[in-house]
Amino acid sequence: MTDNLWDAVIVGAGPAGAVFAAELAHRCPQKKLLLLDGQDREHPKPCGGLLAPDAQKLLAGLHLTLPNTVLADPQIFAVDTVDLQSGQRRLYQRHYLNMDRYAFDRYLLSRVPDTVRIVRARCTEIKEQNGIYTLKTNGGQTFRTTDVIGADGGNSRVRRMLMGHLPYTYTAIQEWYPESADTAELPHYACIFDAETSDSCSWLIRKNGCVIFGGAFAKTGCHAAFEAQRARLEAYFGIRFGTPEKREACPVTSPRRIRDFTPGRPHVYLIGEAAGFISASSFEGISSAMQSGRMLADAFAKGKSSADIFRLYRKNTRGLRAKLLCKIGKRAILCNSTLRFWIMKSGVQSIPRLDGEGIRI
């Protein structure tokens, strides 16, 4: 099946693609837009599902509130930071919304007007000839367009096929365990460092009767490193997670240099994690995904040509790229065992840990 020429094909229907499609369709309803959605409940994006303050601020700017069906229990007001190598543990105040990531993505997608055609398929091939891009899907469909929007995450097919360079990527692995008496005393949310198994961070999150343990690991030997860190975490807390209900894995981008952040090029635009727009220190990418989607929609609405759109988009993302560049420096500090030891030792910005009767422990 071959469709007529589309003004833009958006590859990926996560926060970046959904926000871009909704914003541009509202501002330029005459544009012929197609959105490829490769997610379903059986194959969601593996994610801890925490909405950071920057993402909450963007939702407020869009005059959006989240329905109860998106929120998960419990809500989170602090992060328990654990260094397995040194044995140190500190509590820091944070304000996250705990949510069902798949339900959140579906909520953003529900805002896309009916003028945008949504196709439930994944892009498998992209070719360019005489300024026209032909995209094929796993369902055997073929679509032609003058502009491709890569919103397809850290292992972006658009970026790999049309741009070449990818930032450094880890393999993110997480398992879901049913809550049990053994795990009842685990923190609601923890950030875990363990230099013996990863040079990055891991996470522990309670969500709707489950405990999620996950982390980012070097691609070579990632599953063995995950198993080793899980065993070390069990020993630290003196618990057993039990049998997992499911295991998820996907590539996750970890920008290391300024060239890892790329808006793309004229006719091939990258948004969200596909552009490298993700925090190197925390892997928080939802806020950057939504923000870059809005920025590209603004450039499309104002630009007179592809070169003009790209110039405006580069200008719009300048502040975002600078902010994320600072996150690379923050990662270098937090993931350095010696620096992390002294930061946690100092207790700077930490809050007291109290027992059930309000007594400091």
For all residues of the chain together, what is the average pLDDT? Answer: 93
Model confidence at 149, pLDDT cuts 50, 70, 90, reads: very high
What are the helix (H) ranges across the chain?
15-27, 53-61, 101-110, 157-162, 222-237, 286-302, 306-316, 318-334, 337-346
Q: What is the pLDDT of residue 4?
A: 79
Q: In the structure encoding, which two tokens stand for residue 189, read together?
A: 């949310």
Alpha-helical runs (H) found in 195-275:
222-237
pLDDT of 169 over the 50 cut = yes
Average pLDDT of span 123-147: 95
Quote the Cα angle for 47-53-54, to 5°: 90
Euclidean distance between CA atoms 274 and 166, whole angstroms: 9
pLDDT mean over 239-258: 93
Contact 255, 328 (CB under 8 A): yes
The pLDDT tens digits for 292-304 are 999 999 999 999 9
Q: What is the structure's pLDDT at 142?
A: 96
pLDDT band at 43 (very low <50, low <70, confident <90, very high): low
What is the CB neighbour count within 10 angstroms for residue 106?
A: 18
Question: What angle, 0 to 180 degrees and rounded to 10, lies between the N-to-C axes of helices 286-302 and 318-334?
Answer: 160
Beta-bridge partner residues of 148: 9, 268
Q: Tell me: the pLDDT tens digits for 75-118?
A: 999 999 999 999 999 999 999 999 999 999 999 999 999 999 99
pLDDT in tens, 170-216: 999 999 999 999 999 899 999 999 999 999 999 999 999 999 999 99
Question: Is 2-56+100-166+256-330 a domain of CATH 3.50.50.60?
Answer: yes
Buried/exposed 302-320: b ≥16 CB within 10 Å, e otherwise: ebeebeebbebbeebbeeb
Q: Tokens 């590209």 — which residue?
A: 296
Pairing mode, strands 148-150 and 268-270: parallel
Read off the pLDDT band of 358 (50, 70, 90).
very low
Q: How far is CA 45 from the centre of its chain?
A: 9
Task: Band the pLDDT of 1: cuts 50, 70, 90.
Answer: very low
CATH superfamily for domain 76-98+168-254+334-346: D-Amino Acid Oxidase, subunit A, domain 2 (3.30.9.10)
State the pLDDT at residue 119: 96
User: With 80 as the cut, is the pLDDT of residue 44 above it?
Assistant: no
Tokens of 15: 């926060």
Block residue for tokens 């870059």: 292
Secondary structure (3-state) at 128: strand
- pLDDT attached to residue 361: 55
37-46, 207-216, 272-281: least confidently modelled range: 37-46
In the chain, the percentage of residues whose pLDDT exceeds 70 is 96
Question: 165 vs 250, which has greater pLDDT?
Answer: 250
Q: In the beta sheet, which residues pair with residue 153?
A: none
Residues 254, 171 contacting (CB under 8 angstroms): no
At residue 168's C-alpha, the angle toward residues 165 and 174, to 5°, is 130
For position 356, what pLDDT does the model report?
Answer: 52
* Nearest by Cα to 26 from 306, 300, 320: 300
What are the structure tokens assigned to 12, written together?
Answer: 């990926």
Contact by Cβ (8 Å): 112, 35: yes
Please report, for the chain, the start and end positions of each structural domain, with discontinuous segments joined by +: 2-56+100-166+256-330, 76-98+168-254+334-346
| Six token digits for residue 10 | 């958006």
Q: How far is CA 220 from CA 85, 197, 226, 316, in A?
A: 21, 12, 11, 37
The C-alpha angle 50, 348, 189, rounded to 5 degrees, equals 25
Which one, of 50, 45, 49, 59, lies nearest residue 14 by Cα? 45
- Helix, strand, or coil (residue 336): coil
